[in-house]
């Protein structure tokens, strides 16, 4: 065993950059949430009746990504659960509707939260609801349910479940339920029917984007515990804050920049994190994201993306439309002998690529020449190609 390998491990275990890098991870919830005191107080006030066995109002939390909604919600849940007065009679559940994105799965998670196991498929949704209702009532407790990224659920399944949950108190004899919905879609209310809106929107809490100085403050506090003393060059924190502030004040983004910059410095065996490292981190994050997203795409989406790439980059067309793309897509499918999907389906896949942020879709009407989508690649072309080439079938097509 060489001395050198020893050193590598020493480097990782005893980082000269980090003291505790866990504190920079996106799911870490700090003991204090600076610049969110107002929101925390508002939520606490609304939830307070729980401690006297009364049902609080339901709530809506609005704000863009990385503005602390999730952290604040989890923080408050934790605080109220561990209150002395609560003495175990307050149950909480946190459900991320991005992952639990059907009525069935949300109800299943709620069941899990109160200790009832339900199969992940097989039952009728109404049955899962009934089990939850009875189970909760039997526990004689108050429950706070946080539904994060609730817009995803509603857009997919409608607001039937929300309606049921907000009305559930009329069916509960011994328990109470309070719903907190979180969304980063500010126009989300358009998707809700009036009956849900009136009960869920009883209270609204808005999370404005963090300003650059606020981000700096948040970073500085975290840095003290996460990094060794004095390893950050002057200007590193302000730059991370500024870059993140440009992207709608996303604190998660700022922390990620800082962490990756630190990791780059560490890889290079530097003993300081420089401004240059932050800039590298910025590029690296974007590149990794693109490659990861593309690699995990299903085959047809990759062929589709390849078609867009061919038309726009290799053939230099500045405006690519659905029809053109579909034609090239079909010839690619022919080459590797697989059945092409219909244009209808491809239209949906194009929209999916748009929401993933890989391409940019604009609906235009060109008068006599019909209505179509104008599609543009919105990420670094090299990264995109690299992601595509990870797939053997795709790289064969390019040869």
Q: Which residues sit at the interface with DNA, rule CB under 7 A?
A: 101-105, 119-126, 298, 300, 321-324, 339-345, 347-351, 363, 365-373
| Residue located via tokens 């003495």 | 87
Nearer of residues 202 and 324 to DNA, judged by Cβ: 324
* Least gap, CB of 69 to DNA (angstroms): 24
Closest CA to 182 of 104, 29, 74: 74
Nearer of residues 222 and 302 to DNA, judged by Cβ: 302
Cβ-based neighbour number of residue 70 at 10 Å = 24
* Least gap, CB of 164 to DNA (angstroms): 13
Q: How far apart are the first and last CA of the chain?
A: 42
From CA 26, how far away is CA 22, in angstroms rounded?
Answer: 9
* Least gap, CB of 339 to DNA (angstroms): 7
* Least gap, CB of 340 to DNA (angstroms): 7
* Least gap, CB of 229 to DNA (angstroms): 48
Pairing status of strand 90-96 against strand 320-321: unpaired
* Least gap, CB of 224 to DNA (angstroms): 43
- The pair of structure tokens assigned to 369 is 């020449």
Closest CA to 304 of 318, 286, 322: 322
Closest CA to 61 of 36, 93, 26: 36
Nearer of residues 140 and 345 to DNA, judged by Cβ: 345
Q: Is 203 in contact with 47 (CB distance < 8 Å)? A: no
β-pair partners for 273: 232
Nearer of residues 276 and 319 to DNA, judged by Cβ: 319
* Least gap, CB of 174 to DNA (angstroms): 24
Nearer of residues 105 and 385 to DNA, judged by Cβ: 105
From CA 347, how far away is CA 259, in angstroms rounded?
Answer: 38
Q: Is 305 in contact with 346 (CB distance < 8 Å)? A: no
Measured CA angle at 174 (ends 170, 176), to 5 deg: 60
Nearer of residues 246 and 371 to DNA, judged by Cβ: 371
Nearer of residues 285 and 374 to DNA, judged by Cβ: 374
* Least gap, CB of 101 to DNA (angstroms): 6
From CA 383, how far away is CA 390, in angstroms rounded?
Answer: 11
From CA 79, how far away is CA 283, in angstroms rounded?
Answer: 38
Nearer of residues 100 and 148 to DNA, judged by Cβ: 100
């Amino acid at each position: 065993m060489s001395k050198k390998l020893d050193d590598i491990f020493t480097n990782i275990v005893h980082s000269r950059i980090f003291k505790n890098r866990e504190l920079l991870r996106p799911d870490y919830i700090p003991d204090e949430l600076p610049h969110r005191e107002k929101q925390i107080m508002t939520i606490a006030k609304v939830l307070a009746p729980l401690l006297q066995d009364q049902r609080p109002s339901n709530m809506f939390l609005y704000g863009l990504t990385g503005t602390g909604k999730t952290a604040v919600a989890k923080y408050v849940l934790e605080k109220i659960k561990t209150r002395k007065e609560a003495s175990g009679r307050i149950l909480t559940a946190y459900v991320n509707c991005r992952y639990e994105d059907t009525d069935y799965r949300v109800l299943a998670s709620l069941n899990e939260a109160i200790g009832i196991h339900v199969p992940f498929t097989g039952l009728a949704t109404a049955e899962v609801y009934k089990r939850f209702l009875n189970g909760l009532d039997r526990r004689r407790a108050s429950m706070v349910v946080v539904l994060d990224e609730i817009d995803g659920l509603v857009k997919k399944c409608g607001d039937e479940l929300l309606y049921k949950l907000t009305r559930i108190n009329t069916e509960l004899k011994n328990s109470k339920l309070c719903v907190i919905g979180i969304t980063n879609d500010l126009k989300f209310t358009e998707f809700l029917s009036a009956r849900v809106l009136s009960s869920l929107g009883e209270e609204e809490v808005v999370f404005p984007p963090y300003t650059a100085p606020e981000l700096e403050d948040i970073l500085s506090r975290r840095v003290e515990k996460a990094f060794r003393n004095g390893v950050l060059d002057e200007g590193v924190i302000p730059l991370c804050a500024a870059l993140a502030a440009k992207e709608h004040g996303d604190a998660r983004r700022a922390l990620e920049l800082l962490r990756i910059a630190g990791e780059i410095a560490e890889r290079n065996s530097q003993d300081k994190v420089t401004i240059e490292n932050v800039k590298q981190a910025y590029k690296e994050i974007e590149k990794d994201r693109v490659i990861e997203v593309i690699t995990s795409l299903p085959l047809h989406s990759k062929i589709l993306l390849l078609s867009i790439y061919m038309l726009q980059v290799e053939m230099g067309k500045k405006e690519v439309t659905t029809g053109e793309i579909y034609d090239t897509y079909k010839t690619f499918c022919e080459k590797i002998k697989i059945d092409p999907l219909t244009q209808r389906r491809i239209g949906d896949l194009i929209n999916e690529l748009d929401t993933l942020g890989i391409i940019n879709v604009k609906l235009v009407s060109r008068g006599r020449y019909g209505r179509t989508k104008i599609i543009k690649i919105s990420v670094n072309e090299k990264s995109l190609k690299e992601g595509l080439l990870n797939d053997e079938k795709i790289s064969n097509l390019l040869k």
